[in-house]
Amino acid sequence: MPNYIDSSISHHDPMKVAMIITVVVLIGSVIYLMGDRGGKETIETKQE
């Protein structure tokens, strides 16, 4: 098992890398949108 893990890490499977990047981007986008919306809602509430 250790040899298999080491080889997979050293070779960087394109599918694994793509999945990790996609997940990171999706999570980052969700957090950014939630934070942005929350900020806008707060500003709108203060203006009203």
**DSSP assignments along the chain, one per residue:** -HHHHHHHHHHT-HHHHHHHHHHHHHHHHHHHHHHHHHHHHHHHHHH-
Is the Cα torsion angle 40, 41, 42, 44 positive or negative in sign? positive
Q: Compute the distance between CA of residue 38 and CA of residue 33 in angstroms, rounded to an integer.
A: 8
Rounded to two decimals, what is the model's pTM?
Answer: 0.47
Task: Check if the beta carbon of residue 8 is closer than 8 Å to that of residue 16.
Answer: yes
pLDDT in tens, the chain (48 residues): 455 556 555 566 788 889 999 999 999 998 888 887 666 666 566 665
